[in-house]
């Protein structure tokens, strides 16, 4: 569906005068992830990851695309950081590629570590806040060969990795996130096979999730010991569910959608228990939980990262679950996802009410894909401009309703490898020509930079 012209204004990014976004202490940043932009998968001692394996498997990724080159950020990071500076953002969220910094025996790979040390040092030179994610899905393949997130031993391997990187970057990182979107790693990787490693078993998904969250808890303990001056947290993707009709059955279906999408992750972290409704939805999939596990998983957080993209409309399947019913006549992105900013506001307010121990929140990803093209040297991405403006307004509304949201990261800094969708779906505010690697500021980037320049001048 085309964007309604009514949502595009003549000044399409600057927020109202009373918006939180004008506050200098509200962090506005941009985000990326290692496998999606770096390329150089065989250089300087980097080992294969599960996404190297998965994307090289015919039929797994659209058009047979892989991350072998991606945005060639491994070689172009200095000029990419100049673009980041031109965007005038306050911070940058990046991830470290686990296969790039350790070998199979757990020994440090100095060339890989030094790459990230250079990145972090340059970001600090530029005065940017540095948010580092330890795991954004690129698990070393040798660990998957041993069972991956199904093998409890991975908890200790992840703690070892967290120990190495937090010692190497001590005092240089403002905020550490242990995991990005464990829901995707567990469900898409082990439940429905849409992501690497491509397994399809409900019990696998819940056991993988348990080990992911347990690894998170262990890593927080390590990070807290090694780098006490930084924030420690985790990033969860959340989704809004709506009922197809006013029936009790459909209302329960929408509830179950949010249980499996949100509470499956947030309840263990913030309540130290799994939601029992999850096992109504997926009977017989309870993970093996050992004594002390939930205490470790529930280790207090300094912040919670929230990634939000869309709403899902569902109806009861007549049994113990739900079926998606796409709404007609709604605005959608290139991904086919409904644009629904109110969902972000409602979820934030709901979490604030449901979790008394809710830590401060950063929106660590929010953005949209569109089929952007360079025409006469320009990229006019009006829908993205409107999308970002409306979602930032939703965040502002949540803050005014009492939710402690301290920042927002646009996904993404640049177009990149979009996992199972390859290079077709473009999320960046900077356009990347994948044949020439030329970067072009989209109109959204120009307006973001303009707003932030004005905000900074007011400070």
Residue of 365, 382, 438, 453 with catalytic role? 365
What CATH number did the domain enclosing 374 receive?
3.20.20.80
Residue of 38, 168, 181, 338 with catalytic role? 181
Question: What is the tens place of the pLDDT at every residue in 242-251?
Answer: 999 999 999 9
- Respond yes or no: is residue 38 known to be catalytic: no
Question: Does residue 309 have a known ligand-binding role?
Answer: yes
Residue 4 has pLDDT above 70, yes or no: no
Residue 168 has a pLDDT of 98
Provide the Cα torsion 167, 407, 36, 138; round to 10°. Answer: 40
- Respond yes or no: is residue 382 known to be catalytic: no
Question: Does residue 411 have a known ligand-binding role?
Answer: yes
pLDDT bin (cut points 50, 70, 90) of residue 11 is low
Residue 8 has a pLDDT of 40
Question: What is the tens place of the pLDDT at every residue in 307-326?
Answer: 999 999 999 999 989 999 99
Residue 422 has pLDDT above 60, yes or no: yes
Residue 73 has pLDDT above 50, yes or no: yes
Pairwise pLDDT comparison (9 vs 410), residue with the higher score? 410
Average pLDDT score over residue span 398-420? 98
Question: What is the tens place of the pLDDT at every residue in 74-114?
Answer: 999 999 999 999 999 999 999 999 999 999 999 999 999 99
Average pLDDT score over residue span 216-238? 98
Question: Does residue 391 have a known ligand-binding role?
Answer: no
Residue 12 has pLDDT above 80, yes or no: no
Residue 294 has pLDDT above 70, yes or no: yes
Residue 2 has a pLDDT of 35
Residue 93 has a pLDDT of 99
Question: What is the tens place of the pLDDT at every residue in 336-360?
Answer: 999 999 999 999 999 999 999 999 9
333: tokens are: 């992105």
Enclosing domain of residue 276: 5-458
What mean pLDDT is reported for the chain? 96
Question: What is the tens place of the pLDDT at every residue in 177-205?
Answer: 999 999 999 999 999 999 999 999 999 99
Residue 9 has a pLDDT of 42
Domain count, the chain: 1
Average pLDDT score over residue span 46-66? 98
Question: Does residue 180 have a known ligand-binding role?
Answer: yes
Question: Does residue 211 have a known ligand-binding role?
Answer: no
Between CA 93 and CA 113 the distance in angstroms is 17
Provide the Cα torsion 383, 387, 390, 392; round to 10°. Answer: -140
Question: What is the tens place of the pLDDT at every residue in 156-171?
Answer: 999 999 999 999 999 9
The 3-class SS string of the chain reads CCCCHHHCCCCCCCCCCCCHHHCCCCEEEEECCHHHHCCCCCCCCCCCEHHHHHHCCCCCCHHHCCCCCCCCHHHHHHHHHHHHHHCCCCEEEEECCHHHHECCCCCECHHHHHHHHHHHHHHHHCCCEEEEEEECCCCEHHHHCCCHHHCCHHHHHHHHHHHHHHHHCCCCCCEEEEEECHHHHHHHHHHCCCCCCCCCCHHHHHHHHHHHHHHHHHHHHHHHHHCCCCEEEEEEEEEEEEECCCCHHHHHHHHHHHHHHHHHHHHHHHHCCCCCHHHHHCCCCCCCCCCCHHHHHCCCCCEEEEEEEEEEEEEECCCCCEEECCCCCCCECCCCCECCHHHHHHHHHHHHHHCCCCCCEEEEEECCCECCCCECCECCCHHHHHHHHHHHHHHHHHHHCCCCEEEEEEECCECCCCHHHCCCCECCCEEECCCCCCEEECHHHHHHHHHHHHHHHHC
């Amino acid at each position: 569906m085309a964007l309604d012209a009514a949502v595009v204004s003549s000044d399409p990014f600057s927020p109202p005068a009373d918006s939180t976004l004008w506050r200098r202490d509200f962090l506005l940043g941009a985000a990326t992830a290692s496998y999606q932009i770096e390329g150089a998968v065989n250089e300087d001692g980097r080992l294969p990851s599960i996404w190297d394996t998965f994307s090289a498997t015919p039929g797994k990724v659209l058009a047979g695309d892989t991350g072998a080159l991606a945005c060639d950020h491994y070689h172009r990071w200095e000029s990419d950081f100049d673009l980041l500076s031109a965007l005038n953002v306050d911070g940058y969220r990046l991830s470290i590629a686990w296969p790039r910094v350790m070998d199979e025996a757990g020994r440090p790979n100095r060339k890989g570590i030094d790459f990230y040390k250079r990145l972090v040092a340059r970001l600090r030179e530029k005065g940017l806040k540095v948010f580092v994610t330890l795991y954004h899905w690129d698990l070393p393949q040798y660990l998957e060969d041993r069972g991956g997130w199904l093998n409890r031993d991975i908890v200790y391997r992840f703690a070892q990795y967290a120990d190495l990187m937090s010692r190497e970057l001590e005092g240089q990182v403002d905020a550490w996130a242990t995991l990005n979107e464990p829901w995707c790693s567990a469900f898409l990787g082990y439940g429905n096979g849409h992501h690497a490693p491509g397994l399809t078993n409900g019990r696998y998904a819940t056991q993988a999730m348990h080990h992911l969250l347990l690894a998170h808890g262990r890593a927080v303990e390590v990070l807290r010991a090694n780098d006490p001056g930084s924030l420690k947290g985790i990033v969860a993707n959340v989704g809004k569910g709506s009922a197809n009709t006013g029936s009790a059955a459909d209302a329960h279906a929408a509830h179950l959608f949010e249980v499996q999408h949100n509470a499956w992750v947030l309840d263990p972290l913030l309540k130290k228990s799994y939601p029992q409704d999850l096992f109504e939805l997926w009977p017989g999939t309870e993970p093996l939980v050992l004594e002390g596990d939930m205490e470790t998983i529930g280790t207090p957080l300094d912040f919670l990262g929230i990634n939000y993209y869309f709403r899902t409309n569902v109806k009861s399947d007549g049994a113990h679950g739900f079926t998606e019913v796409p709404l007609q006549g709604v605005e959608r992105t290139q991904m086919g996802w409904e644009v629904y900013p109110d969902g972000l506001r409602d979820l934030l307010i709901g979490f604030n009410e449901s979790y008394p121990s809710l830590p401060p929140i950063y929106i660590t990803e929010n953005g949209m894909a569109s089929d952007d093209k360079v025409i006469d040297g320009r990229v006019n991405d009006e829908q993205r401009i409107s999308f970002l403006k409306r979602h930032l307004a939703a965040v502002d509304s949540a803050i005014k309703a009492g939710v402690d949201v301290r920042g927002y990261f646009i996904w993404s800094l640049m177009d990149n490898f979009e996992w199972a969708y390859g290079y077709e779906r473009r999320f960046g505010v900077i356009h990347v020509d994948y044949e020439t690697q030329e970067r072009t500021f989209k109109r959204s980037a120009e307006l973001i930079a303009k707003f932030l320049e004005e905000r900074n001048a007011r400070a």
